[in-house]
Each structure stands twice: as C-alpha cells, then as structure tokens.
Amino acid sequence: MWQDFKDLISGTLGAIGMLVWVCFVCFVLACIGIGIYYAFESTLTPEQREANHQADIAERTPHVYSKVDNCTVYIWRNGSYNSYFTKCDNTNKVVTEFSHSENCGKACTKKVTDKVETN
C-alpha cells in the first residue's frame, strides 16, 4: 500500500516536472520569436514604418469591395476580422454585416454573422 502511494507521488512530481520543462521551453521559444520580430522591425526605415502605418489605416477605413446590381459593397478591417456594409442606389436602406469566428467549446469554432439594417 505504501509503495503504491510513493509511486503515485513520484508519478505526479514527474508529470509536474515535465509540465514545468515544457512551459520553460515554450517561454524560451517565445522570447526568441519576439527577439527576431523586434530585430526585423529595427531594420525598417522610417519610410517603411510610415508605409506600413498608412497601409494599416487604409485597411481599417471602409473602401469599395465590389459593385453589383446598382449596389456597392464596402469592406474594412474591424479588429481581427472584416466588416462589410452594402448601399444600393435605388433605396436609402443600408445593410451592415459583421462576420467573425467564435469559440464554441473544445476544438470548435463557429462563424457568427450580425446584420444591421438602417434606412
């Protein structure tokens, strides 16, 4: 009985030690990745940084995505996903659509679409 308890404690401590080791390795790899990212960023010229900044602003500003049947679809980046709105020439109604993925449990994601109609 006592040997079983010692084996349980030994196995538990071994698992905790392995978890600590894996976390340490992940931390070191993350630090290396962040270091590489900042080393790359430091090589950019001020003009390149400004161009990247302007491209980010343009992506977050609504712009024409497509035109079909007298309707214009606009797109812009909203956080980590795209948002759309549609405006048609023959009506004052505007339909705005927000679409993104949400977690719905372990290994599960679902696409969520919200529509807002205004006159």
Residue 78 CB-density burial (10 A; 0-12 exposed, 13-18 middle, 19+ buried): middle
Q: Domain-by-domain residue ranges, the chain?
A: 2-43, 62-118
DSSP 36-89: HHHHHHHTS-HHHHHHHHHHHHHHHS-EEEEEETTEEEEEEEETTEEEEEEEET
User: What is the model's pTM?
Assistant: 0.47
What is the structure's pLDDT at 100? Answer: 77
pLDDT for 47-93, tens place per residue? 998 999 999 999 989 899 999 888 888 888 887 788 888 888 766 67
Q: Which two tokens stand for residue 99?
A: 């679409």
Q: Which one-letter DSSP state was computed for residue 111?
A: E
